[in-house]
Structure 1
Amino acid sequence: LSPSMCDRLCSTDDCMPGTGVYLRHGYIYSSLAGYVLRKNEGEELPVISVVRETEAQLLPDVGAIVTCKVTSINPRFAKVHILYVGSTPLKDRFRGTIRKEDVRATEKDRVETYKSFRPGDIVLAKVISLGDVQSNYLLTTAENELGVVVAHSEAGAQMVPISWFEMQCPRTHAKEFRKVARVQPEYLQA
């Protein structure tokens, strides 16, 4: 992703034209001011496009804090859809995985995925490894500020955190295990 305006981007021997570009004398040129996107579509030549700054897709990057929704769990990991990078909503859907060993910083061998997350939970996590087309982003919740921020009980009520590993339904007072994020009130944040 790099800025461009009416630049010669590449030869038609090296790339295929996408959106926001035009062909002239065997070369691909940018037809608007924006960012160059280069996508490899399988075995073919990469497709080169130019998008305006407002259309440039923000991507989850290593170290970024993301907000995601748990879609499924099994004993080894939780699958999630990444919804936000920081406070910016994503246009495209990105998948992530929180492995059992990346849930907590301590007692990693005693973590049970179903006692940390449930499908539908909203989780704050940090990106630890980038995915590719076939795989997911690897995420961690192994910091106090990371983990479940919104969960609903079986009765459908939004649950309230009562410790770093439990949430309670305000209607039924039933308790459920979660890896709870320690969310600081805004007036305490620097």
Structure 2
Amino acid sequence: TSERLGEKLCSLEDCIEGTGVYPRHGYIYSSLAGYVLKKNEGGQLPVISVVRETETQLLPNVGAIVTCKVTSINPRFAKVHILYVGSTPLKDRFKGTIRKEDVRATEKDKVETYKSFRLGDIVLAKVISLGDVQSNYLLTTAENELGVVVAHSEAGAQMVPISWCEMQCPRTHSKEFRKVARVQPEYLQA
């Protein structure tokens, strides 16, 4: 829950003060606006702290739109690093997988991952199942708004989308296949 500056959090009998809080008249109050964290650190009482919104660890949830970078590709899937959830950059590295069948909504059996993504592409995707330390998050690009948003050609130039499945190099005019996103402005990262 989000707390306001100066809000009473608990009694000093129930909690130990951590960061972002101060004691007064037997109670612990929030010294900044943010989120309350209670941790049992082996002592009798939990330690209560308040952290700013930007300091909380954001996790990719099912249904979240994420921005990721392609790190490896094989015929069955593309592996990615998740960089942003919505417009918030992630502190920790989360890995994701876009399976061949989750690349697009139609003609899934005809999808070729090499014609959808390339190494280094920046992709907008949606989380369809949660990962953990051992496994990756499962992602999909099977919506018009999802797919490759930034790609560089063999010549190193940033390519321009020319259809939902092709991008073109402005330098050499060569075309490359991609699963191109029809980008909504709110998802664009600066």
Instruction: Give the alignment of 1:18-167 within 5 angstroms.
Output: 35=35, 52-54=51-53, 55-167=55-167
Q: Could you tell me which residue of structure 1 aligns to residue 22 of structure 2?
A: none
> For residues 174 and 123 of structure 2, what CA distance do their matches in structure 1 show?
21
> For residues 173 and 38 of structure 1, what CA distance do their matches in structure 2 show?
57
Q: Could you tell me which amino acid in structure 1 is paired with residue 56 of structure 2? A: A
- Give the CA deviation at 1:53: 3.1
> For residues 155 and 49 of structure 1, what CA distance do their matches in structure 2 show?
54
1:41-73 deviations in Å (ceiling 9; x for gaps): xxxxxxx98561331111111101000000110
> For residues 171 and 51 of structure 2, what CA distance do their matches in structure 1 show?
49
Q: Could you tell me which amino acid in structure 2 is paired with residue 52 of structure 1? A: V
> For residues 57 and 69 of structure 1, what CA distance do their matches in structure 2 show?
20
- Give the CA deviation at 1:38: 8.8
Distance 1:98-1:50 versus aligned 2 partners, 3 A rule? farther
RMSD: 3.3
> For residues 68 and 172 of structure 2, what CA distance do their matches in structure 1 show?
26
Q: 1:57–1:91: 8 Å Cα contact kept in structure 2?
A: yes
Q: Could you tell me which amino acid in structure 1 is paired with residue 98 of structure 2? A: I
- Give the CA deviation at 1:120: 0.4
Q: Could you tell me which amino acid in structure 2 is paired with residue 53 of structure 1? A: R
> For residues 171 and 64 of structure 1, what CA distance do their matches in structure 2 show?
35
Q: Could you tell me which amino acid in structure 1 is paired with residue 148 of structure 2? A: V
- Give the CA deviation at 1:32: 8.6
- Give the CA deviation at 1:35: 4.9
Q: TM-score, normalised by structure 2?
A: 0.74
**Given the alignment of the two structures, is residue 183 of structure 1 paired with residue 183 of structure 2, yes or no?**
yes
Q: TM-score, normalised by structure 1?
A: 0.74
Alignment: residue pair count: 168
Where do 5+ consecutive residues of structure 1 fail to align? 9-18, 21-30, 40-47
- Give the CA deviation at 1:92: 1.0
Q: 2:37–2:51: 8 Å Cα contact kept in structure 1?
A: no
- Give the CA deviation at 1:133: 1.1
> For residues 66 and 49 of structure 2, what CA distance do their matches in structure 1 show?
26
Question: What secondary structure is seen at the aligned counterpart in 2 of 1:70?
Answer: strand
Question: What secondary structure is seen at the aligned counterpart in 1 of 2:84?
Answer: strand
Distance 1:49-1:134 versus aligned 2 partners, 3 A rule? farther
> For residues 109 and 38 of structure 1, what CA distance do their matches in structure 2 show?
49
1:15-60 deviations in Å (ceiling 9; x for gaps): xxxx86xxxxxxxxxx998656699xxxxxxxx9856133111111
